[in-house]
Each structure stands twice: as structure tokens, then as C-alpha cells.
């Protein structure tokens, strides 16, 4: 969970001029790719960018009574802009545009959820804050956040956004959070230049995939690590090995199941164990962090690495190439059976302590403004003109990052090509590097949405212990200290002891 947020946190961008000669990448999927990545396909009339009053046209026409504008809104964040890269200018700009003062606090990412819970315990909660997957479900089940469904439906935002998104973030049919942006998905990157050197095709099956890593390891001297990943418990990071198996609870045909207990998980464990034993997986896979993996990739000693598409596709290419001339980070289509998935959705919530009246105001002047397809969205995507971007023809040209002039600010709170609603201003296009487009094309075409895990009383009680036991068993099996059969048996025992059946019964409403 933490990791997903962390990656998004990296609001540092890549230089825009960058080329990737990704040959076999994308295939026929290019055309289907960009429901989200081309920002400006606007046929709607463009709103004047400098309108003083923040009114989202679609919404205001539908609102029956006039909603008063709030004076201040309190908001906590743990990613996106901070003081270093111009948050103060941003809030000033927001206030200038809307007349609303944002009372904002930035919480270090690692401590964000601790502090939020403390705030709830002490009844000093911010009005607006974001929550991710499991936490969203927890807070919703405790009645700590407002059900936003009526506001979303009344505002017209419901119809403007891909229904799949609402479906994925809804809990029992109610939407408690509005995503800031469409989640990123991860895809597998391989060393395209090594494939060329070995005169190999992009692998299509698991056997071809393993064979590729094997040949990387044996025939490419620089290849010290075949495939790396931060840990083994994320199907998202190891799609070729999991092949659709799930580490946690998942829903299939309307029924919740314990992924770890399914037979396909045993197969996945076997695949990982074999590959680890053969030395195809990073020996340090258990203790790796995302940053150690990335560093190894940048150094040019890794053959295969599954990571975020889009912005990161660009960064992986750029930094790899900086250290290794001619190196190519090639995003590949999923091999047979592998499933690329989107990150769990997260979104902005409104505290249940807020009055209905204020909640309506916040929704209208903050949430709707953020996704208005015009001035507000531009502010949330690209930041302040003259501080974060400047006009360049029809394009928004990102300016050097205030904190680190060697990079540019491509996004402040919303990644432009991941925006929830299309940008309607025709002169505010955002140029993208090839490496970004190519990896996005793949994930946009094939990645699947992960629905949020709902909570049950028993699950809440056992979840920390259960996660721990699963992680322990999986690590032991992968490293070969336990056979798959032993692992399965050990888990059966744990599941029995912690009463996983009761969790399933509760989830399935039995």
C-alpha cells in the first residue's frame, strides 16, 4: 500500500525531449491506448482560463439551490507539492482564483496514516484528506467519512468519468472518495538492447520468458540480476509468476475468496521457488525495496523489472541510458497468463465530522473545481503559470522544478495524462516523451482494475497477523526453506487458527 503512494509521491519529472526506440513494444494496442493519456481532445467549448469565479459549468446548471462558497477548507496531503517546489505559490494562486483559503498541512508519507488516526481519536480532523484501498474501506465502515455518491451524481461528475473507476472505488455501491487521478498501472520492462544482442524475440509465453532471463544471465556479462522486484508478495510486481493468482482477498463472480488458499497460488509459489533456485530471480528479492530495485536497474545490471508505466517508463529509460550507452528499457506486453494491474485506487474524502452543508460546499468548490476540465483542472495538473509552467504554442511547457532545476514539474497534484476528466482547454496540451507513451499504451490496453477490499470485523482484527504469516510462508517457500506442499499446509493451519473462514463469511454477507 505504502509503496504505491510512494511512487506517486515522486513528483519529479523527466526531461521532455527523450526518445525511445522501443521496437516491438505496444504492438497493435497503440490505437486503443489513450483514453487517458491524450489530455486535450476537446470538442466542448473552452472555458476562459482566467475566470475569477470558480464555477464548473456542468455542475452549477444542475444544482437546484445556490451553494455558498466556503471561506476556508482544511486539507492534508502526503504527496504532490510541498514547500520546496512551490506549494505556497500554488495555494496563493488557488485563493486568488477561488477566494477560498486552503488550510493545508503536509504529512510525511510514512507517518500519514498514523497521524490521521490520531487526529480522528482527538477529534481534530482535517476536512479533506486522501485515503487508499484498505484504509478507505476501514474509514468508510467506521462511518468516519461522508458518502459522496449524491454529490457526485448531482454534479454530473458521475457521467464524465469512466464508470469502471466508480465501480472500482465503490464500497457496497457507495462512493466515499473521488480519485485525484486514474491510478497508474505497472508493466514489465526488459532490456531491449540485450534482446537485440542475443537476437531474441520479445517473449510471449512463460517458458520463453524464463529462457530470456536465463540467456541474459549466462550470455550477457553485465547481467548480474535476472529479474528484480521489491519483495515477493505483490502479484503486481511479479505478474509472470503469479499469473492471476492473488496474495490477498479478491472477488470472483460476486464472491470473495482467499487468494492465498487457491490452487493457482500454489502454482505461483512453485514458479517463484524454481526461478529463485535457478538464480533467475534477484537473490535479495526478500529484502529489496523499490529504490534498491530501481538503482540496480539504473546501474544496468538487471534484465527484467516490473514497474509503473507512464512517467516512470520515461525515468527508467532516461536514467538507465545515462549510465549505459544504448541501453533500452523496453516495456513488453504481458506474456500468456500474466496480468498487469492498476494500483489500488485512492481518492479524496470528506470527514464525517463536517456538516452536510459544508460538505456540499467543499465538493462543489474543491472537488468539482479540480476536475472541471478547465482552469481548476489546469491548476491541479500543471500548477501555477510562471512558477510551474509557461505557455508554449498550444502546449503547457513545464518549467524547471524549484527544488531541483535539473528536472521539470510535469504535474502538481494530478498527472496530466492520468486526469479523471478530459482537459477541455485546447491550448493546454501536454507533450509526452515516447517512453512515457509506449509504456502507457500497454497498460492502458491490458491492465485490470483492482477493486477495493471491503472490511469485516474479523478481518480488521486478524489482518496484521494474517498478512505477516502469509508473507513469512511465501518468503520461506520462495527461498526454498519450505516446499510448496509444506507452505500450503502451513497456511491451512494459520487460516484455521485465525478463522479466515469467518472473514469470508462476513465478506460474503453470510
Residues that bind another protein (CB under 8 A): 6-7, 9-10, 12-14, 82-84, 105-111, 113-115, 117-118, 120-122, 124, 138-139, 142-144, 224-225, 231-233, 282-284, 286-287, 290-291, 294-295, 298-299, 315, 318-319, 322, 403-404, 406-407, 460-461, 463-465, 467-468, 471-472, 474-476, 479, 497
How far apart are CB 370 and another protein at their closest, in Å? 22
Helix, strand or coil, per DSSP, at residue 18: coil
Nearer to another protein, 106 or 206 (CB): 106
Residue with cell 528499457: 329
How far apart are CB 109 and another protein at their closest, in Å? 5
Q: Which own/partner pairs from 367-371 qualify as long-range (CB within 8 Å, at least 24 positions apart)?
A: 367/148, 367/151, 367/155, 367/157, 367/178, 368/56, 368/59, 368/155, 368/157, 369/54, 369/56, 369/98, 370/180, 370/413, 370/414, 371/56, 371/157, 371/160, 371/161, 371/178, 371/419, 371/420, 371/421
Cα–Cα distance between 315 and 410 in angstroms, integer? 13
Cα–Cα distance between 410 and 430 in angstroms, integer? 9
Nearer to another protein, 308 or 365 (CB): 308
Asked whether 346 and 177 are in contact (CB, 8 A), the reply is yes
Asked whether 403 and 84 are in contact (CB, 8 A), the reply is yes
Query: What are the cell numbers at 501?
Result: 473462514
Nearer to another protein, 14 or 370 (CB): 14
Asked whether 155 and 62 are in contact (CB, 8 A), the reply is yes
Nearer to another protein, 29 or 295 (CB): 295
Nearer to another protein, 178 or 466 (CB): 466
Cα–Cα distance between 195 and 24 in angstroms, integer? 11
Query: What are the cell numbers at 27?
Result: 504492438
Nearer to another protein, 202 or 430 (CB): 430
- E strand or H helix at 74: strand 72-77
How far apart are CB 170 and another protein at their closest, in Å? 20
Nearer to another protein, 320 or 370 (CB): 320
Cα–Cα distance between 452 and 460 in angstroms, integer? 14
Cα–Cα distance between 229 and 285 in angstroms, integer? 6
How far apart are CB 6 and another protein at their closest, in Å? 5
How far apart are CB 336 and another protein at their closest, in Å? 29
How far apart are CB 77 and another protein at their closest, in Å? 11
- E strand or H helix at 161: none
How far apart are CB 162 and another protein at their closest, in Å? 28
Using alpha carbons, list the distances in angstroms from residue 419 to 37, 38, 70, 136: 8, 10, 25, 21
Nearer to another protein, 179 or 231 (CB): 231
Query: What are the cell numbers at 119?
Result: 487526529
Nearer to another protein, 94 or 276 (CB): 276
How far apart are CB 84 and another protein at their closest, in Å? 4
Cα–Cα distance between 45 and 424 in angstroms, integer? 7
How far apart are CB 322 and another protein at their closest, in Å? 5
How far apart are CB 333 and another protein at their closest, in Å? 26
Nearer to another protein, 114 or 255 (CB): 114
What is the rounded radius of gyration, in angstroms, for the C-alpha atoms of the chain? Answer: 23
Amino acid at each position: 500500500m505504502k509503496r504505491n503512494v510512494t511512487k506517486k509521491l515522486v513528483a519529479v519529472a523527466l526531461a521532455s525531449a527523450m526518445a525511445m526506440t522501443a521496437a516491438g513494444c505496444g504492438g497493435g494496442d497503440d490505437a486503443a491506448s489513450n483514453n487517458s493519456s491524450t489530455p486535450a481532445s476537446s470538442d466542448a467549448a473552452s472555458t476562459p482560463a482566467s475566470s475569477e469565479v470558480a464555477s464548473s459549468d456542468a455542475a452549477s446548471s444542475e444544482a437546484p439551490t445556490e451553494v455558498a462558497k466556503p471561506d476556508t477548507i482544511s486539507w492534508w496531503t502526503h504527496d504532490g507539492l510541498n514547500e520546496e517546489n512551490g506549494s505556497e505559490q500554488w495555494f496563493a494562486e488557488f485563493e486568488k482564483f477561488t477566494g477560498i483559503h486552503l488550510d493545508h498541512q503536509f504529512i510525511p508519507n510514512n507517518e500519514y496514516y498514523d497521524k490521521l488516526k490520531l487526529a480522528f481519536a482527538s477529534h481534530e480532523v482535517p476536512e479533506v484528506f486522501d485515503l487508499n484501498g484498505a484504509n478507505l474501506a476501514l474509514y468508510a465502515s467506521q462511518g468516519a467519512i461522508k458518502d459522496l455518491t449524491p454529490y457526485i451524481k448531482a454534479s454530473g461528475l458521475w457521467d464524465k468519468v469512466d464508470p469502471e473507476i466508480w465501480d472500482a472505488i465503490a464500497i457496497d455501491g457507495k462512493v466515499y472518495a473521488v480519485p485525484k487521478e486514474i491510478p497508474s498501472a505497472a508493466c514489465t520492462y526488459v532490456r531491449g538492447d540485450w534482446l537485440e544482442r542475443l537476437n531474441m524475440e520479445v517473449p510471449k509465453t512463460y517458458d520463453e520468458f524464463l529462457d530470456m532471463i536465463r540467456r541474459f544471465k549466462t550470455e550477457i556479462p553485465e547481467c548480474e540480476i535476472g529479474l528484480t522486484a521489491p519483495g515477493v508478495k505483490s502479484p503486481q510486481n511479479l505478474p509472470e509468476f503469479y499469473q492471476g493468482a492473488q496474495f490477498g482477498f479478491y472477488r470472483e463472480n460476486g464472491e470473495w475468496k482467499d487468494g492465498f488458499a487457491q490452487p493457482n497460488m500454489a502454482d505461483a509459489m512453485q514458479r517463484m521457488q524454481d526461478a529463485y533456485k535457478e538464480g533467475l530471480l534477484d537473490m535479495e528479492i526478500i529484502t529489496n525495496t523499490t529504490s534498491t530495485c530501481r538503482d540496480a536497474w539504473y546501474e544496468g545490471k538487471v534484465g527484467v523489472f516490473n514497474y509503473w508505466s507512464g512517467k516512470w517508463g520515461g525515468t527508467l529509460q532516461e536514467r538507465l541510458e545515462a549510465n549505459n550507452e544504448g541501453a533500452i528499457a523496453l516495456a513488453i506486453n504481458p506474456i500468456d497468463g500474466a496480468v498487469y494491474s492498476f494500483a489500488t485506487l485512492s481518492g479524496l474524502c470528506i470527514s464525517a465530522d463536517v456538516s452536510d452543508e459544508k460538505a456540499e460546499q467543499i465538493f462543489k468548490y474543491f472537488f468539482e473545481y479540480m476536475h472541471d476540465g478547465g482552469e481548476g483542472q489546469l491548476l491541479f495538473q500543471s500548477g501555477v503559470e510562471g512558477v510551474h509552467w509557461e505557455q508554449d504554442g498550444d502546449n503547457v511547457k513545464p518549467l524547471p522544478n524549484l527544488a531541483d532545476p535539473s528536472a521539470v514539474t510535469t504535474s502538481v497534484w494530478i498527472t496530466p495524462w492520468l486526469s479523471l476528466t478530459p482537459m477541455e482547454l485546447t491550448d493546454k496540451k501536454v507533450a509526452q516523451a515516447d517512453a512515457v507513451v509506449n509504456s502507457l499504451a500497454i497498460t492502458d490496453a491490458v491492465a485490470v482494475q483492482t477493486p477495493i477490499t471491503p472490511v469485516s470485523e474479523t478481518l480488521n482484527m486478524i489482518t496484521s497477523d494474517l498478512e505477516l504469516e502469509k508473507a513469512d510462508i511465501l518468503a520461506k517457500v520462495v527461498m526454498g526453506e519450505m516446499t510448496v506442499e509444506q507452505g500450503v499446509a502451513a497456511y491451512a493451519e494459520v487460516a484455521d487458527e485465525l478463522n479466515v473462514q469467518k472473514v469470508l463469511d462476513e465478506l460474503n454477507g453470510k
